[in-house]
C-alpha cells in the first residue's frame, strides 16, 4: 500500500497545546503544534493549516489516531471512534476534567472537517487494565459516594510503546519483570510482568505517586483535607496540581534542566526529593512483581538526565544487579500503529 493511503495523523490535544504528527512510509513525515490561547478548536485549525502547508493535510491521511487520557474501567484497548465510544469518553470527563473535554473537541473537529475519515483512540489508562483489583481498589466501602474512586494509572501509552519497542531495540525477548520509569514533567513507574501492567504509581488521578514537575505526588489525605479547609477546594486543587512538586520544593522552576544546573539549596533539595521518592516507589513496584529482571527509563528526564538516572539507581543499590535500558519515547508512533492496525492491519510507523 502506498504512502498516502497508509499515512496516519496523530493528534494529542492537551490542556494548553495541540500537537499533531503524520506518520507513514516507516517514519514521521510532518509535525505541527500550537499553544491554546483562545480555544482548542482555533488551535487545531492552526495546526491543521500548518500540516496542509507541509503537504500533509487531511486528504493525504487514511485515519486519525487520538491520545485520550482517560478511558475509565471499560475502555481497555485502542478502538475505532463511534458515537457510542465518544459517549463513553464523555462519561469519563469527571475523571479527567482537564483532558477528556479537549480530546472530544479534537474528535469533533475532525468529524466536521472529514466525516468519512476513520478515527481511533488510544487510552492512557488502557495498559493498566490488567492490574489486579487488590492493587486498584482503595480501602473504602462500596456505595454511591465512592463509585468510581479507584486507582486507574496513566502514561499507559508510553508504557505500551516501551513494551512494543524494547525487544526490537535489544534483539532480545522482553524481560519478564520490567521496572519501567516514565520521567518527565509528569512522572510514574510501572511494574510490568510478562508484558502486562501489574502495578503503577499514578492512581485515581495523574497527581498520585512520584514527585513531579508541578504535581505533589503522594500526600496524606488528611493533609489534603486540611489544605482544602485553609484555602478552599479549588485553590487546594490548583496548588497540588500546578504549584507543587519540583516547582514548589525549589521555589525556582519545574524544569529539571534548570534545577540540576542551579546551586540554590531549594533546587538541590527538589532534585534529591525527586530521586528519593522515585527509588522508594520503585521498591513498591519491585515487590508487586516479586523481583526485577531489568530497568527501563523513558520520557524527557528518563532519556536525557543521566545524573538523575544515576542517583535513582544508586538509591536502588540494594536491588539486584540488572540491565538498565534507555528507551526513546514513542507514544505518537505507537498511536499511529494502533490506528493503522484497527483500520487496515499492521502499520509501518516506527
Please spell the DSSP secondary structure of 192-232, one letter per residue. EETTEEEEES--SSTTSSS--SS---S--HHHHHHHHHHH-
Q: Are residues 117 and 202 in the same domain?
A: no
Per-residue pLDDT tens digits for 1-35: 333 447 999 999 988 889 999 999 879 999 999 99
Q: Is 72 left (phi over 0), alpha (psi -120 to 50) or beta?
A: left
- Whether 146 is in a domain gets the answer no
Closest CA to 267 of 284, 288, 252, 245: 252
Per-residue pLDDT tens digits for 199-249: 999 999 999 999 999 999 999 999 999 999 999 999 999 999 999 999 999
Q: What pLDDT, on a 0 to 100 scale, did the predictor assign at position 347?
A: 46
- Whether 166 is in a domain gets the answer no
- Whether 128 is in a domain gets the answer no
Residues 6+ apart with CB under 8 A from 98: 15
pLDDT at 349 over 70: no
- Whether 290 is in a domain gets the answer yes
Query: In terms of residue numbers, what domain contains 44?
Result: 3-123
pLDDT bucket at 38, cuts 50 / 70 / 90: confident
Q: Are residues 178 and 92 in the same domain?
A: no
- What is the Cα–Cα distance from 301 to 189, expressed in whole angstroms? 13
- What is the Cα–Cα distance from 65 to 67, expressed in whole angstroms? 7
- What is the Cα–Cα distance from 342 to 350, expressed in whole angstroms? 16
pLDDT bucket at 294, cuts 50 / 70 / 90: very high
Assess contact for 126 and 71: CB atoms under 8 A: yes
pLDDT bucket at 95, cuts 50 / 70 / 90: confident
Q: Are residues 225 and 317 in the same domain?
A: yes
Q: Are residues 203 and 290 in the same domain?
A: yes
Residue 124 is among the residues annotated as catalytic for this protein? yes
Q: What pLDDT, on a 0 to 100 scale, did the predictor assign at position 97?
A: 86
What is the average per-residue pLDDT within 27-44? Answer: 92
Per-residue pLDDT tens digits for 60-84: 999 999 999 999 999 999 999 999 9
Catalytic residue among 25, 108, 124, 243: 124
* 219 vs 320, residue with greater confidence: 219
Per-residue pLDDT tens digits for 101-110: 999 999 999 9
Q: Are residues 231 and 106 in the same domain?
A: no
Q: Are residues 14 and 119 in the same domain?
A: yes
Per-residue pLDDT tens digits for 130-145: 999 999 999 999 999 9
Closest CA to 155 of 341, 326, 350, 334: 334
Q: Please say which residue of 123, 153, 187 terminates a domain.
A: 123
What nine digits make up the cell of 116?
468519512
Q: What pLDDT, on a 0 to 100 scale, did the predictor assign at position 1?
A: 35
Assess contact for 65 and 104: CB atoms under 8 A: no
Q: What pLDDT, on a 0 to 100 scale, did the predictor assign at position 3?
A: 39
Q: What pLDDT, on a 0 to 100 scale, did the predictor assign at position 295?
A: 98
- Whether 217 is in a domain gets the answer yes
Q: Which backbone phi and psi does 177 adopt, to 5 degrees?
A: -120, 100
Query: At which residue does the C-alpha cell 520544593 appear?
Result: 249
Q: 112: domain CATH number? A: 3.30.420.40
Total number of domains in the chain: 2
Q: Are residues 84 and 186 in the same domain?
A: no
- Whether 334 is in a domain gets the answer no
Q: Are residues 108 and 13 in the same domain?
A: yes
Q: Are residues 176 and 317 in the same domain?
A: yes
Q: Are residues 206 and 74 in the same domain?
A: no
Q: Are residues 116 and 248 in the same domain?
A: no
Strand order in the sheet with 324-326: 196-200, 187-193, 177-183, 294-298, 324-326
Q: Are residues 183 and 311 in the same domain?
A: yes
- Whether 229 is in a domain gets the answer yes
pLDDT bucket at 345, cuts 50 / 70 / 90: low
pLDDT at 111 over 50: yes
Q: Which backbone phi and psi does 232 adopt, to 5 degrees?
A: 95, 155
pLDDT at 350 over 50: no
pLDDT bucket at 261, cuts 50 / 70 / 90: very high
- Whether 259 is in a domain gets the answer yes
Amino acid at each position: 500500500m502506498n504512502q498516502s493511503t497508509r499515512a496516519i495523523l496523530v493528534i494529542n490535544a492537551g490542556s494548553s497545546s495541540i500537537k499533531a504528527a503524520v506518520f507513514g512510509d516507516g517514519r514521521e513525515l510532518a509535525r505541527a503544534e500550537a499553544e491554546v490561547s483562545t480555544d482548542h478548536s482555533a488551535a487545531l485549525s492552526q495546526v491543521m493549516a500548518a500540516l496542509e502547508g507541509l503537504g500533509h493535510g487531511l486528504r493525504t491521511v487514511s485515519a486519525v489516531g487520538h491520545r485520550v487520557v482517560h478511558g475509565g474501567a471499560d475502555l481497555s484497548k485502542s478502538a475505532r471512534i463511534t458515537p457510542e465510544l465518544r459517549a463513553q469518553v464523555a462519561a469519563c470527563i469527571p475523571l479527567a476534567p482537564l483532558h477528556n473535554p479537549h480530546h472530544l473537541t479534537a474528535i469533533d473537529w475532525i468529524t466536521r472537517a472529514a466525516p468519512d475519515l476513520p478515527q481511533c483512540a488510544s487510552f492512557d489508562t488502557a495498559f493498566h487494565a490488567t492490574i489486579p483489583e487488590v492493587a486498584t481498589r482503595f480501602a473504602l466501602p462500596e456505595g454511591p459516594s465512592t463509585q468510581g474512586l479507584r486507582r486507574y494509572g496513566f502514561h499507559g501509552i508510553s508504557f505500551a510503546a516501551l513494551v512494543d519497542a524494547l525487544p526490537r531495540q535489544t534483539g532480545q525477548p522482553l524481560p519478564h519483570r520490567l521496572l519501567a520509569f516514565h520521567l518527565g514533567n509528569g512522572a510514574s513507574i510501572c511494574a510490568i510482568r510478562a508484558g502486562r501492567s501489574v502495578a503503577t504509581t499514578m492512581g485515581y488521578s495523574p497527581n498520585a505517586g512520584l514527585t513531579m514537575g508541578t504535581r505533589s505526588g503522594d500526600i496524606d489525605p488528611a493533609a489534603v483535607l486540611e489544605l482544602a479547609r485553609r484555602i478552599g477546594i479549588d485553590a487546594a486543587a490548583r496548588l497540588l496540581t500546578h504549584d507543587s512538586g519540583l516547582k514548589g520544593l525549589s521555589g525556582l522552576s519545574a524544569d529539571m534542566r534548570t534545577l540540576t544546573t542551579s546551586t540554590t539549596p531549594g533546587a538541590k533539595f527538589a532534585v534529591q526529593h525527586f530521586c528519593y521518592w522515585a527509588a522508594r516507589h520503585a521498591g513498591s513496584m519491585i515487590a508487586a512483581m516479586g523481583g526485577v529482571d531489568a530497568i527501563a527509563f523513558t520520557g524527557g528526564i528518563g532519556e536525557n538526565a543521566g545524573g538523575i538516572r544515576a542517583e535513582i539507581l544508586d538509591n536502588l543499590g540494594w536491588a539486584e544487579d540488572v540491565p538498565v535500558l534507555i528507551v526513546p519515547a514513542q507514544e505518537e508512533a505507537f498511536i499511529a500503529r494502533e490506528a493503522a492496525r484497527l483500520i487496515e492491519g499492521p502499520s509501518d510507523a516506527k
